[in-house]
């Protein structure tokens, strides 16, 4: 069951209510275990819809989606939280809790899924080290730079060792120099065997990483290249 | 771990909208105590009814030396034959269940006991002033009281017929009216309480939307996301109930028990009655708050 692709889209179409043009149209693609994938395309091309479908925050109008070996159409509402425990998420706006410090923000993700305190005490410092925030565990989010806040968000997304990490424009609010650091952390996470899907506008990053690139335009896959770049295919 | 986490979240939620929480507690307290008062009234009325149901429903007083009705002044005090005729008349009536004779001395003793709280009144009455009587127990109180009364009225030796039920009916009407008013106000307040619970929980959900969105994102179960809100509602309900319990104890000991002094008969509510009402108020309060929070959350915290 887990030998297949971790994300499998088959003729997926998503049309939002009150909209004539589908956000995604007849998309078929596979993402294998351990892959690093860039999702590129202009705003409104369907990148975010793709990520929301993977999380089952939205339901496709048509087509089949399998994530981590599970058919999402047959996943009951009760089981959705269990799916999401296997998927980490990072966003452009970090989404940290302003009233909690670095350690508490990361621990929160484990507390709310009922992990024992001893386990939390052990793994949270490990993941703080992994994202390079040693010595900043007691800082509040407003005492951190944008890049540091995004590292906290990545630590929170990764602390439960998810199978897939979805990143929606993680460098969108961060300057290019700091972005390199963020990409290094994502790469490090990818090397542990976690599949990373990153939606981005940042051409420099895509070009420098030389990973698989899927380009969307008006909801359709117009390019799918291993070791691709941001711009048009040469 | 889990419990500690949930209670921490609950504490944050209650503290963040403190004013709403206080309003909620006050409304729950008032509505529960009014409802409880209504229930105490119901119990009081039932107690009074039970007391009277075991008692005589019709008293046929016989002429004595001091009786002042025209018939008694004409014929003088009741004779033994007249008394026997009246007894026969009553016993042969199909609507009558039992007939007891009470002598002047017995009636005087009873009178003294019933009005023991009013000594000056008791002292002003002599044993000969209270007439002897036939205490008639009817098979069907309410309906037959008048017919039996009319049948025996005017028979020589009969001084006066007192229909207890006609006195009681007025008294019951008064009590029932008061009870209905209290219950109606209580119901209106309960509706207000439900709306307030819904609003408080909605505000709380809005205040903590960051937390809940992250909880959902990292895969917290619905139960875990909703539990703090549910507990929040129930805790507010419990606090409201505590206040209501205090008010109800006050209503009983200061109002209902004081009212007791004006009744010649003992129908005081027991501690068990009060306890029952308070327990019922708790169940209603907790169910009301819990169910309302749960239903509100189902609308506002979709997966």
Is B293 within 8 Å of B229 (Cβ atoms)? Answer: yes
Same domain, A33 and A137: no
With contacts defined as CB-CB under 8 Å, which chain A residues touch B224? 112-114
Q: State which of B9-23, B144-158, B235-249 shows the largest mean pLDDT.
A: B235-249
Same domain, A81 and A197: yes
Q: Which helix (DSSP H) or strand (DSSP E) does residue B84 occupy?
A: helix B80-92
Same domain, A169 and A82: yes
Mean pLDDT of chain B: 81
A1 confidence band (pLDDT: 50, 70, 90): very low
B53 confidence band (pLDDT: 50, 70, 90): low
- Range(s) of the domain holding residue A41: 1-86+163-229
Same domain, A141 and A183: no
Integer Rg of chain A from CA: 18
Question: Min CA distance, B288 vs chain A (Å)?
Answer: 26
> What is the rounded distance in angstroms from the CA atom of residue A154 to the CA atom of residue A152?
5
Is B139 within 8 Å of B95 (Cβ atoms)? Answer: yes
Closest alpha carbon to B265 in B79, B97, B58, B50? B50
What CATH number does the domain containing A34 carry?
3.40.50.300
Same domain, A136 and A177: no
Residue A41: inside a domain: yes
pLDDT of residue A94: 94
> What is the rounded distance in angstroms from the CA atom of residue B28 to the CA atom of residue B282?
10
Residue A36 in this model has a pLDDT that exceeds 90? yes
Name the domain boundary from A139, A161, A183: A161
pLDDT of residue B55: 62
Tokens linked to A124 = 């949270």
* Overall pTM > 0.80: no
> What is the rounded distance in angstroms from the CA atom of residue B250 to the CA atom of residue B267?
18
First to last CA, chain B: 24
A150 vs B205, residue with greater confidence: A150
Is B133 within 8 Å of B61 (Cβ atoms)? Answer: yes
Please answer yes or no on whether A114 and B218 come within 8 Å at the CB atom. Answer: no
Task: Give chain A's domain count.
Answer: 2
Residue B56 in this model has a pLDDT that exceeds 70? no
Name the domain boundary from A123, A139, A161: A161
Q: For the segment B227-251, what is each residue's pLDDT rounded down to a tens digit?
A: 888 888 888 889 999 999 999 888 8
Q: For the segment A146-184, what is each residue's pLDDT rounded down to a tens digit?
A: 999 999 999 999 999 999 999 999 999 899 999 999 999
Same domain, A103 and A141: yes
Residue A2: inside a domain: yes
Same domain, A60 and A169: yes
Please answer yes or no on whether A113 and B216 come within 8 Å at the CB atom. Answer: no
First to last CA, chain A: 37
Q: Provide ipTM, 2 decimals.
A: 0.86
Please answer yes or no on whether A81 and B214 come within 8 Å at the CB atom. Answer: no
> What is the rounded distance in angstroms from the CA atom of residue A157 to the CA atom of residue A168?
12
pLDDT of residue B143: 66
pLDDT of residue B265: 61
- DSSP letter at B49 equals H
B10 vs A65, residue with greater confidence: A65
Is B225 within 8 Å of B212 (Cβ atoms)? Answer: yes
Same domain, A122 and A189: no
Residue range(s) of every CATH 3.30.70.3040 domain in chain B? 54-164
Is B43 within 8 Å of B269 (Cβ atoms)? Answer: yes
Same domain, A211 and A179: yes
Length of chain B: 303
Side-chain-side CA neighbours of residue A191 (13 Å): 7
Is A202 within 8 Å of A38 (Cβ atoms)? Answer: no
Please answer yes or no on whether A114 and B2 come within 8 Å at the CB atom. Answer: yes
Residues within 8 A of B (CB atoms), A 195-234 only: none
- Answer CATH for B54-164 from 3.40.50.1370, 3.20.20.70, 3.30.70.3040, 3.50.30.60: 3.30.70.3040
B255 confidence band (pLDDT: 50, 70, 90): confident
What's the average model confidence in pLDDT over B178-203? 84
Q: For the segment A20-31, what is each residue's pLDDT rounded down to a tens digit?
A: 899 999 999 999
Q: Is B102 helix (H, G, I), strand (E, B) or coil?
A: strand
Name the domain boundary from A112, A136, A161: A161
Give alpha helix (H) positions in B93-163.
104-114, 119-123, 141-152
Same domain, A2 and A118: no
- b/e map B86-106, b = 16+ CB within 10 Å: beebbeebebbeebeebebee
Residue A194: inside a domain: yes
pLDDT of residue A60: 95
> What is the rounded distance in angstroms from the CA atom of residue B36 to the CA atom of residue B252?
10
> What is the rounded distance in angstroms from the CA atom of residue B219 to the CA atom of residue B264?
68
B82 vs B141, residue with greater confidence: B82
Least trusted range by pLDDT, from B58-62, B80-84, B171-175: B171-175
* Residue A168 burial (C-beta neighbours within 10 Å; 0-12, 13-18, 19+): buried
Residue A91: inside a domain: no
A212 confidence band (pLDDT: 50, 70, 90): very high
What's the average model confidence in pLDDT over B74-96? 82
B4 vs A27, residue with greater confidence: A27
A234 confidence band (pLDDT: 50, 70, 90): very low
pLDDT of residue A157: 96
Torsions phi, psi of A101, nearest 5? -80, 180
> What is the rounded distance in angstroms from the CA atom of residue A68 to the CA atom of residue A74?
13
- Which residue is closest to A58 within chain B, CA to CA? B303
Tokens linked to B100 = 């007891």
Identify which of A78, A89, A97 has the shortest CB distance to residue B217. A89
> What is the rounded distance in angstroms from the CA atom of residue B215 to the CA atom of residue B217?
5
Q: For the segment A80-118, what is each residue's pLDDT rounded down to a tens digit?
A: 999 999 999 999 999 999 989 999 999 999 998 989 989
Same domain, A72 and A8: yes
Tokens linked to B172 = 């019951």
Closest alpha carbon to B267 in B42, B46, B34? B46
Is A184 within 8 Å of A152 (Cβ atoms)? Answer: no
Residue A234: inside a domain: no
- Which residue is closest to B224 within chain A, CA to CA? A112
> What is the rounded distance in angstroms from the CA atom of residue B248 to the CA atom of residue B246?
5
Same domain, A113 and A169: no
Tokens linked to A138 = 């007691």
């Amino acid at each position: 069951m887990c030998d297949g692709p971790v994300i499998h889209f088959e003729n997926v179409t998503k049309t939002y209510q009150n909209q004539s043009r589908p956000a995604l149209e007849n998309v078929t693609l596979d993402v294998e275990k351990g892959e690093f994938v860039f999702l590129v395309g202009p705003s409104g091309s369907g990148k975010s819809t793709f990520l929301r479908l993977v999380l089952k925050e939205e339901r496709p109008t048509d087509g089949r989606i399998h994530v981590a070996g599970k058919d999402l159409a047959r996943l009951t509402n009760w089981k959705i939280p269990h799916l999401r425990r296997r998927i980490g998420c990072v966003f452009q706006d970090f989404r940290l809790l302003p009233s909690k410090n670095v350690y508490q923000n990361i621990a929160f993700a484990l507390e709310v899924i009922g992990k024992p305190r001893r386990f939390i005490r052990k793994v949270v410092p490990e993941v703080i080290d992994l994202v390079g925030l040693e010595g900043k565990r007691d800082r509040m989010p407003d005492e951190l730079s944008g890049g540091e806040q995004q590292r906290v968000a990545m630590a929170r997304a990764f602390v439960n060792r998810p199978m897939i990490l979805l990143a929606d424009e993680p460098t969108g609010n961060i300057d290019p120099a700091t972005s390199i650091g963020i990409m290094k952390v994502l790469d490090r996470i990818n090397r542990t065997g976690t599949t990373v899907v990153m939606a981005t506008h940042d051409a420099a990053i895509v070009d420098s990483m030389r990973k698989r690139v899927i380009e969307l335009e008006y909801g359709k896959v117009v390019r799918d290249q291993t070791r691709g770049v941001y711009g048009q295919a040469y | 771990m889990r419990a500690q986490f949930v209670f921490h979240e609950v504490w944050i939620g209650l503290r963040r909208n403190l004013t709403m929480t206080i309003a909620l507690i006050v409304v729950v307290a008032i509505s529960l105590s009014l409802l409880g008062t209504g229930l105490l009234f119901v119990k009081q009325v039932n107690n009074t009814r039970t007391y009277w149901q075991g008692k005589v429903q019709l008293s046929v007083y016989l002429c004595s030396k001091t009786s002042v009705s025209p018939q008694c002044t004409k014929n003088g005090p009741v004779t033994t034959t007249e008394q026997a005729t009246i007894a026969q008349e009553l016993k042969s009536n199909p609507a009558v269940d039992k007939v007891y004779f009470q002598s002047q001395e017995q009636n005087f003793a009873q009178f003294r006991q019933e009005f023991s709280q009013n000594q000056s009144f008791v002292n002003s009455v002599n044993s000969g002033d209270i007439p002897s009587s036939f205490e008639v127990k009817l098979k069907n109180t309410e309906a037959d009281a008048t017919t039996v009364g009319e049948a025996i009225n005017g028979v020589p030796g009969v001084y006066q017929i007192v229909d207890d039920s006609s006195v009681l009916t007025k008294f019951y009407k008064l009590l029932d009216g008061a009870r209905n008013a209290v219950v109606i106000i209580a119901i209106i307040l309960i509706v207000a309480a439900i709306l307030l619970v819904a609003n408080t929980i909605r505000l709380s959900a809005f205040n903590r939307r960051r937390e809940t969105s992250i909880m959902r994102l990292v895969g917290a179960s619905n139960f875990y996301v909703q539990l703090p809100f549910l507990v929040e509602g129930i805790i507010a309900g419990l606090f409201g109930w505590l206040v209501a319990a205090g008010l109800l104890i006050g209503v009983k000991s200061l109002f209902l028990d004081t009212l007791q002094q004006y009744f010649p008969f003992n129908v005081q509510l027991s501690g068990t009655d009060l306890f029952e009402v308070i327990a019922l108020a708790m169940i209603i309060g907790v169910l009301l708050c819990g169910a309302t929070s749960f239903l509100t959350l189902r609308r506002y915290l979709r997966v």
